[in-house]
Amino acid sequence: MTTSKLALDCALPKAQRAPLERAFETAFECDVPAVLELLFVSEEEIRALNKEKRGVDAVTDVLSFPSMALCAGERICAAEHRDCVEPVMGMRKGEWVQKGEHIYLGSVVICAKRAREQAEEYGHPYEREIAYLAAHGLLHCLGYDHMAEEEKRTMREKEEALMRLLGLERKE
């Protein structure tokens, strides 16, 4: 699979964000650069989102909001998803101009407190838990799921491959 350019729109420092972007670019193929929004929220905020969007009145670790309905492994073609394509703006001679376009993959919402608790529970660093939850959310935005056993196996393999690229594989 050819890789695509990905930018994470999030509050993570560049030193933490850049490796995620490079690894996540290997998860999909797209004919224009892509953007994934990564948001960090409180327990109250994620509980409200979970209740509103899924009908589940509980705190969760991560929620994904894909911008398009994709099949797992599907090549993303901007022409087929024009409603998710946005201009990339830049300054030229003091004027804002369009420099190209990117496709918006969706939003991944992570409960920071729950991520800290899970990192402690599993005995690994918080940064690893954030990377895992972001990878999980990205894969949902790319059409992967874990409802059926075969889907779950495929998604877990993809998550583990991304974590290996980051040097954050699970310690047995």
CATH of the domain at 146: 3.40.390.30
Q: Tell me the residue range of the domain where 96 lies.
A: 6-165
Q: Is residue 135 part of a domain?
A: yes
Q: Is residue 37 part of a domain?
A: yes
Average pLDDT of the chain to the nearest whole number: 91
**165 to each of 4, 111, 131, how far by Cα in Å?**
15, 24, 11
pLDDT, tens digit, 9 for 90 and up, residues 81-140: 988 888 776 666 777 665 678 899 999 999 999 999 999 999 999 999 999 999 999 999
CB atoms < 10 A from the CB of 20, how many? 24
Beta bridge partners of 106: 36, 66
Model confidence at 80, pLDDT cuts 50, 70, 90, reads very high
Which residues lie below 8 Å from residue 39, measured CB to CB, with a gap of 6+?
A: 10, 107, 108, 109, 110
Tokens in use for 98? 């369009």
Say what the pTM is: 0.90
- Domains held by the chain: number: 1
Q: Is residue 75 part of a domain?
A: yes
Q: Is residue 171 part of a domain?
A: no
Q: Is residue 110 part of a domain?
A: yes
Q: Is residue 172 part of a domain?
A: no
Q: Is residue 128 part of a domain?
A: yes
Lowest-confidence pick of 13-17, 58-62, 84-88, 115-119: 84-88
